[in-house]
Structure 1
Amino acid sequence: MVTHVPAEEYGDERGALLSFLEEQRGGIRRSVLGLTDEQSAARPSASELSLGGLVKHVAEVEQSWIARAKGEEPAVVRDRSNWHECFALVDGETVESQLAYWEQVAAETEAFVRSVPSLDDTFPLPDQPWFPPEGRASVRWVLLHLIRETARHAGHADIIRESLDGKTAFELVALAAK
């Protein structure tokens, strides 16, 4: 599991961006190590966030951005009435199933990024207030956005996990290495 990105290993810009994204994914994945589904669903603060919900959210977000970049519809479309469902496991979803789904999404992301002719290639965005107002985004912008989004939620995951059982990110790195 990546815990840092050594400069000599990523080679080019695509590799660097994908490596930094994977580094942040690892932080979230490690946050659920050794937890039951009940613990992963716990919300130990005033926030509605849970670790299981964060795993689901980042997988859905990554899939939706890459689908749009490919000119496809996202697998799950959320609007103002159901946006909160992306932050909670529902209808028999488990952390294990969401991690497996996210693994598939990550592989699709890597394959797509490696296949585009240029990171400068752009694609249209829906005309909704939560998308950039320019109406288009580049593949590079999407990767940077996914790194930022995943890193933000990795920080949330660190706090939630430490609130659940006191384990810090460093302890989880050691646990993952076993």
Structure 2
Amino acid sequence: MAQLSTEVLGDERGTLLAFVESQRAALREAAEGLTEEQAAGRHSASELSLSGLLKHAAQVERNWLRLAQQQPYKSSYETHLAGFKLIEGETMPSVLASWEEVAADLRAFVEAVPTLDQTFPLPEAPWFPKDTKVSIRWMLLHLVEEFARHAGHADVIRESLDGTKAMG
């Protein structure tokens, strides 16, 4: 199992980053020890796979970081759906390595911003309210929510696959 930090972080920024990492770890742990085929398989009533969930989570984090940095962002419903499946050349190790890079970039960005109150605009998209800005704090809480939701999905998939339970 992945090791979580035992460091007690007293400030809000560190605490939020620790919660984001905790949920990242829960997602990664659900896929530990599986073959590529097992991770890509559909093992429950859901169409989701463990490898697809990991790829999606990494892409979501990358997209939110780009938005917060006010870098170009393009997304569509089709690219969103495609983000749940590995394509030719992608492997679990490559997805996890890419996610580690994104996680390090997010941490560095969040540690460098002057305040978590700093806002950035959401792009025009059917799933975002028009002309809305969100804070870095909001983004971090959203990532906790997103990763926690998918960690639950991952737990169900893994338990359906081989009986492995996240908490016991």
Tell me how far 1:2 sits from its aligned partner: 4.9
Structure with the larger helix share: 1
Residue correspondence of structure 1 range 6-21 to structure 2 within 5 A = 9-21=8-20
SS at match of 1:129: coil
Distance in 2 separating the partners of 1:93 and 1:141: 31
SS at match of 1:81: helix
Match for residue 163 of structure 1 among 142, 160, 165: 160
Confirm or deny: 8 A CA contact 1:124 1:137 kept in the other structure: yes
Confirm or deny: 8 A CA contact 1:41 1:50 kept in the other structure: yes
Distance in 1 separating the partners of 2:157 and 2:120: 35
Confirm or deny: 8 A CA contact 2:44 2:156 kept in the other structure: no
Structure 1 equivalent of residue 54 of structure 2:
55
Distance in 1 separating the partners of 2:127 and 2:142: 13
TM-score by length of 1: 0.88
Structure 2 equivalent of residue 128 of structure 1:
125
Tell me how far 1:133 sits from its aligned partner: 4.2
Residue correspondence of structure 1 range 6-155 to structure 2 within 5 A = 9-74=8-73, 77-133=74-130, 135-155=132-152
Single out whichever of 131-140 and 158-167 deviates more from structure 2: 131-140
Single out whichever of 33-42 and 123-132 deviates more from structure 2: 123-132
Distance in 2 separating the partners of 1:2 and 1:21: 14
Q: Which runs of 5+ in 2 are unaligned?
A: none
Distance in 1 separating the partners of 2:56 and 2:67: 17
TM-score by length of 2: 0.93
Confirm or deny: 8 A CA contact 1:56 1:89 kept in the other structure: yes
Distance in 1 separating the partners of 2:137 and 2:15: 11
**CA-atom RMSD, angstroms?**
1.6
Tell me how far 1:32 sits from its aligned partner: 0.9
Q: What percent of counterpart residues are identical?
A: 53
**CA deviations over 1:60-114 (Å, ceiling 9, x no partner):** 000100111001124xx43123321111111221111100000001000100000
Q: Which amino acid aligns with 1:141?
A: W
**CA deviations over 1:116-159 (Å, ceiling 9, x no partner):** 01100001111212124451110000000000000000000000
